Amino acid sequence: MPKNLEVPSLPERLIREIWKRQDFAEKPLITIDGKNVEIIFTGESNPNGGPDFLNAQIKIGGITFVGDVELHRHFTDWQQHTHHKDPKYNKVILHVVLYAHKTSALPITKSKRTVPTIVLEPYLSEELIRSLQENISNENIENVRYLKCFSINSNTPCNLIEEWLHKLAVQRLEYKIRRLEERLLELVQTKKVTEPAAAYGQIHFEVSPDEFPDFTPRYTRHDFTDVHLWEQVLYEFTMEALGYSKNQQPFMKLAKNVTLEFLDSVTDENTGKIIQYEAILFGVGGFLSTPGILKDHQSKEYLVQLKKVWKYVRESYNGETMTGAEWQFFRLRPENFPTIRIAAAARIVEKINSGNLFKVIVQLIENQAMGNTEKLRKLISLLTVEASGFWENHYRFNKEAAMRLKVLVGKDRAVEIIINIIIPLCLMYARVFKKKNVREMALKLFSEIKSSRNSAIVKTVEEQLVRGKFKLNTAPLYQGGVQLYKFYCVEEKCADCEVGIRLFNQ
């Protein structure tokens, strides 16, 4: 794959199309554990529940196998979709994923057999990538204009839809927990507090289930007792949330480059912490290298301060410095500019490093004496960031805002962070440390959060499935609607949807 091209995020239906076309720039294909793969027959497309392609014929490591093929966007989707517990996937002979992953452990079937896996990304042709980049947005919109069941779902019982959406909300929560867990484990491994991982990837495909290693835990609770690990996860995923849809990746990259530990280690106690955090984040983010001609007096003074701090800290920083080209401003509302969000991030970092934000959040969640309305109010207060200093009247460098800014992170964004990061993180914490009370309180809070958002996705589900029977105005119903649309409706997985099963099997 050309190094200057990035594979866009694709729905699984387009990954299935890529698999059928077999338009690969490089051959032979090689599994992640080094076996050559020759596709003799891609298999029959499966419109029903189960693997994506059936009865494929594939030569792996010189041996020809006949069986099924399952396709995913990400390596971890196999586990997240619980295929390891579903006997329908016992005949899968090849797992095909779009994006690479750091883990070396191969997916496993319910029958305890490892499944060879190939990553498509390195093999995609330049022509195909350019075509996908140009057409993916239009194709997505065109193909999900109407839900497949729209014309026949008007009499679907209200309780069936509502119960299914609640199940999907739990599924979506689990997906978010898995992402957090994956990153937490990476941080644990970085600190070298674990034993080497079991080499599942070295097990031969034909191994007997009896010879498969036991799933002994590689970690103990003690490995996770360092609060700094949890704070780093909170920081990284909050940064990602500050990036909205267009700047999530650069914000996550910035958080991984500029760790809380580094920020804490280079902070000068004689200088204001927030200006130091801003200087480092803007410096590593690539905003201080080419500011251009400055006409705004406040911008000049502010940048002099930032550059002075960054020049001092730069000598201690050994990581990658980003470029301005990595950030998106195009078609963003000014209040969502990455400059505003980085300024907000500096203030959130101060709350984490100086205010023990993670501990405060967990204690707040598990407080049984406090009602959920008050809990939510306090959490919003913790995550809301008021505008101050230079950012009271600027959205970016060198341009004064027409109106004074009141907040850098408002109530709505704070609620989104609570739903998508705080609740899953507390559930993961409860799981690791067997804190039943934290789990119960987190789920109870989640169930009572009202959702005022009205995204195009949820509006489609409300209009074309719910049809006015009720509103998706709570966090579980809203999240369930998003999960249904993205992972069932768009993917045309009607055979796995409880509504689809009722409607299309009649």
Q: DSSP class of residue 462?
A: I
Query: How far out from the chain centre does Cα 499 lie?
Result: 27
DSSP 443-455: HHHHHH-B-----
Q: Are 473 and 454 in contact (CB under 8 A)?
A: no
Sign of CA dihedral 463, 467, 468, 473: negative
3-state percent breakdown (helix, strand, coil) of the chain, nearest 5: 55, 10, 35
HSE-up (13 A, CA, CB side) for residue 345: 33
pLDDT 10s digit of each residue in the chain, 506 long? 444 445 556 667 778 878 888 877 667 899 998 999 999 999 998 876 789 999 999 999 999 999 999 999 888 889 888 899 888 899 999 999 988 776 667 899 999 999 999 998 888 866 666 666 555 544 444 455 689 999 999 999 999 999 999 999 999 999 999 999 999 999 998 875 444 444 434 433 343 444 434 433 567 888 899 999 999 999 999 999 999 878 999 999 999 999 999 999 998 887 889 999 999 999 999 999 865 666 778 888 999 999 999 999 999 999 999 988 789 887 788 889 999 999 999 999 999 999 899 999 999 999 999 999 999 999 999 999 999 999 999 998 888 888 889 999 999 999 999 999 999 999 999 999 999 999 999 999 999 999 877 788 899 999 999 998 999 999 999 999 999 998 999 888 999 999 999 998 86
Pairing of strands 63-72, 117-119: unpaired
Residue 200's pLDDT is 39
For the chain, domain boundaries: 12-141, 224-448
pTM of the model as a whole: 0.71
Q: DSSP class of residue 356?
A: -
Enter the tokens of residue 320: 């990658």
Q: Is 117 helix (H, G, I), strand (E, B) or coil?
A: strand
Residue 213 Ramachandran class (φ > 0 left, ψ -120 to 50 alpha, else beta): beta
Residue 271's pLDDT is 80
247/345 Cα distance (integer angstroms): 13
20/16 Cα distance (integer angstroms): 6
155/337 Cα distance (integer angstroms): 45
